[in-house]
Structure 1
Amino acid sequence: MGKLSLFEVSYSKERPVYYPGEPVEGQVTVELNDTMKMRGMHLRFKGMARVHWTEERSSGSRTIRTDHFSAEEEYFYISFLLAGRWKDEPGHDINLPAGRHTYPFSYKLPSRLPSSFAGAYGFVGYDAKCTIDKPWKFNHEAETSFIVRNRLDLNREPRAKKPNRRSKSKTLCCLCCTSGPISATFSIDRQGYVIGEEIIINAEIENLSNKRVKKSKVVLMQEVLYHATTKTKPKTHDYAKLKHGEIKQGDTDYWNAERLVVPPLTPSFLRGCKIIDVRYFLMLDVTPAGPSSDLVLYLNVIIGNIPRQGVVAQPSAVDQPAAHQPSGKGASKGSKKRSRPRRGSAYITEESQPLAEELSLKNTEL
């Protein structure tokens, strides 16, 4: 790297996870092998959301047209000067001497922010980027992301403590013959959970048809709605699953208080973000033998990160959704340009030495 042997942005926390309104603290470290001339050095913080996908459609006999759907939100974009001057301000360049230089920082996040999220067609991302602005040469940049976790308190969600129950029957048809029904009742004792808690599942599946039931399963699913300017795109993912075997003709299968542990997940709703909506539900899927379609029931659940009072969550070894967090550099591609980011004051020390009521289930992928 020539004169620059080390240039990084690091956080004071081992895992850079922050709540809205909390200060993001850390330091910028620069290590030089020789004196470096620069206009200045500045540190930028950014929070934004973006959705984007493409769809192909025929526009004629042989022409395929690709339509783009997208939307963006910006939550903050602010820079602080660490050394020297801004590019558009008068003054002299500075010479940073060889050696190790550290610049501690503390930036207080806005009080209302959505949780970090990364999905198939969009993300909510937060990052910090430091730039060494060099006259007549390429700039040096060091960038790293951090995680924001918005609080979803299940004590403030009226549905979280309420049970949920549904029943459904399905009559199977085979050519001209009609058999008896397959019936199912599916229930949970409450709808609100946090990571590590167990969902207690009860179900009764009665097979009065003339076919055997091959299997049944319960799946914890996430539905994400990506809202572009002119269209909404749903996407579903399954995260946890329980299975039962076959049910013979005339038999009944019971799910008696079976337990499904909630894995690391982004909280429901993604509050604070208007272009991405996250919801969860349990699906009971009963599969009869032969060409008949499945009997399917859905129950809404709410995933929070503050448990209900009186409910002790099991500790989770991993409390952050296992999803790739895109860096701001890639995330900001296509966003509007600025002549200069907003500047603000923050604690930055001088140079020193030595981080669904109703479910929309169209195009559900299982």
Structure 2
Amino acid sequence: MFQQTIKNFNINFNVLNETNSFSSGDLITGHVSFDLTKETKITSISMALTGRANVHWSTGGGGGRRRRRHRKHHTAKLDFFNFKSVILQENSDTGGTAILQPGRHLFPFTCQLPQGDFPSTFRGVFGQILYSLTVSIHRPWHMAKDFVTELNFVNRINTNQPELHAPLSGSNSMTLCCLWCASGPITMTVSVEKKAFMPGETVKIICQFSNASSRTATPKVALQQKQICYTINKMSKRMVMKNLASVTGEPVSAHTSDVHTAIMLAIPTFAPLTISNCIIIDVDYFIEVSLSVRASSDLTVLFPIILCDTPVNAQPPLYL
């Protein structure tokens, strides 16, 4: 069997950075290695570098065979690139095959990612964006054996955009009503030091609360992720909201004013980057700051933020 002939196959990359990621135009170098248990004829060893996106979801139908017949499936696929090259190729002068002896074998390779505005790697509920390197070993009278490894592709945005460094602020207020009585207002003013963050970074949310009502209000901060998948013509779409992280602050007592506090929210290291350059998949993020009051809807302020792979410094304060 082929699996018994070739063992311990590995695709090894020369690391470009500490996150082991690749971007548009990067030169990828490395080697493939494997062990042979016996003398083996190899026609060629080829390599394919691919980038693609796909989405799929269904609507209607439900349980039961009859209902499943009426289920509608929505799909879309995009191919960003598909480049092929050869690592080992024998010519006709040698019979078209290479005879490799038992033992360890190592073959270096070099390939380059194309230039382009390609979206970052992503795996979602109804869609994914994948980049991969496939090495295929071809033998006479055998089907080619493929070995696939995924690449962590990052779309590096221009972090010099002023709006990414500028602080965000917002406010909201509400009045509680019980029958014909109305309480004093509950107000919140919130600010975030900038718009762009990296996974693993901690966001500092500065809050000012006033609670003139007779009920305690509890502040909460959450990182919300919004995934939207589209068909190619965008006639259909599917949205998913996910809460990736949340923190509860100290309660704001009734009849208190000018309560100042800072709430720290850690962005998970596993959070995918923002995706806004793919026609079938969008990934957006929001910081949701809310005041929760018993027997009432929450008072909320939303901040749209961007997750990127490059540090972004907050804009320094202006002094008059």
TM-score of the two chains, using structure 1 as the length reference: 0.73
Following the alignment from structure 1 to structure 2, what is the Cα–Cα distance between the partners of residues 57 and 11? 46
SS at the partner of 1:154? Answer: coil
Letter in 2 for 1:228: T
Give the deviation of 1:217 after TM superposition: 0.6
Following the alignment from structure 1 to structure 2, what is the Cα–Cα distance between the partners of residues 244 and 175? 30
SS at the partner of 2:164? Answer: helix
For the pair 1:4 / 2:6, whether they are aligned, the reply is yes
Distance verdict in 2 for CA 1:28–1:58, change over 3 Å: closer
What is the correspondence of 1:196-235 to structure 2 with a 5 Å cutoff?
Answer: 196-213=200-217, 215-229=218-232, 230-235=235-240
Letter in 1 for 2:40: M
The unaligned stretches of length 5 or more in structure 2 are none
Following the alignment from structure 1 to structure 2, what is the Cα–Cα distance between the partners of residues 202 and 5? 56
Letter in 2 for 1:266: P
**Which 10-residue stretch deviates more, 249-258 or 96-105?**
249-258
Distance verdict in 2 for CA 1:254–1:239, change over 3 Å: farther
Distance verdict in 2 for CA 1:94–1:196, change over 3 Å: closer
Which of 1 and 2 has higher RCO (CA within 8 Å, sep 6+)? Answer: 1
Give the deviation of 1:202 after TM superposition: 1.7
Letter in 2 for 1:297: V
Give the deviation of 1:222 after TM superposition: 2.2
Distance verdict in 2 for CA 1:202–1:122, change over 3 Å: same
Give the deviation of 1:175 after TM superposition: 4.8
For residue 183 of structure 2, the aligned residue among 175, 179, 185 is 179
Q: What corresponds to 2:138 in structure 1?
A: 133
For residue 248 of structure 1, the aligned residue among 242, 253, 257 is 253
Give the deviation of 1:163 after TM superposition: 2.4
8 Å contact 2:207–2:263 — kept in the other structure? no
Give the deviation of 1:159 after TM superposition: 1.5
Q: What corresponds to 1:31 in structure 2?
A: 35
Q: What corresponds to 1:294 in structure 2?
A: 298
SS at the partner of 2:4? Answer: coil
8 Å contact 1:202–1:254 — kept in the other structure? no
8 Å contact 1:153–1:307 — kept in the other structure? no
Q: What corresponds to 1:188 in structure 2?
A: 192
Give the deviation of 1:181 after TM superposition: 3.2
Deviations along 1:303-348, one digit per CA (max 9) or x if unpaired, are 3333346879xxxxxxxxxxxxxxxxxxxxxxxxxxxxxxxxxxxx
For residue 109 of structure 2, the aligned residue among 105, 113, 134 is 105
SS at the partner of 1:298? Answer: strand
Distance verdict in 2 for CA 1:96–1:181, change over 3 Å: same
Give the deviation of 1:105 after TM superposition: 0.5
Letter in 2 for 1:267: L
**Which 10-residue stretch deviates more, 258-267 or 16-25?**
258-267
Following the alignment from structure 1 to structure 2, what is the Cα–Cα distance between the partners of residues 242 and 136? 61
Q: What corresponds to 2:157 in structure 1?
A: 152
SS at the partner of 2:115? Answer: coil
SS at the partner of 1:2? Answer: helix
Deviations along 1:216-237, one digit per CA (max 9) or x if unpaired, are 1111222222222332222223
Give the deviation of 1:123 after TM superposition: 1.7
The unaligned stretches of length 5 or more in structure 1 are 313-366
Distance verdict in 2 for CA 1:310–1:283, change over 3 Å: closer
Following the alignment from structure 2 to structure 1, what is the Cα–Cα distance between the partners of residues 245 and 169? 20
Following the alignment from structure 1 to structure 2, what is the Cα–Cα distance between the partners of residues 272 and 9? 29
TM-score of the two chains, using structure 2 as the length reference: 0.82
What is the correspondence of 1:1-366 to structure 2 with a 5 Å cutoff?
Answer: 1-13=3-15, 16-57=20-61, 63-64=67-68, 65-84=70-89, 92-112=96-116, 113-156=118-161, 158-175=162-179, 177-213=181-217, 215-229=218-232, 230-252=235-257, 254-264=259-269, 265-268=271-274, 270-290=275-295, 292-308=296-312
SS at the partner of 1:37? Answer: strand
8 Å contact 1:51–1:226 — kept in the other structure? yes
Q: CA RMSD in A?
A: 3.0
Following the alignment from structure 1 to structure 2, what is the Cα–Cα distance between the partners of residues 137 and 175? 81
Following the alignment from structure 1 to structure 2, what is the Cα–Cα distance between the partners of residues 102 and 287? 61
8 Å contact 2:177–2:183 — kept in the other structure? yes
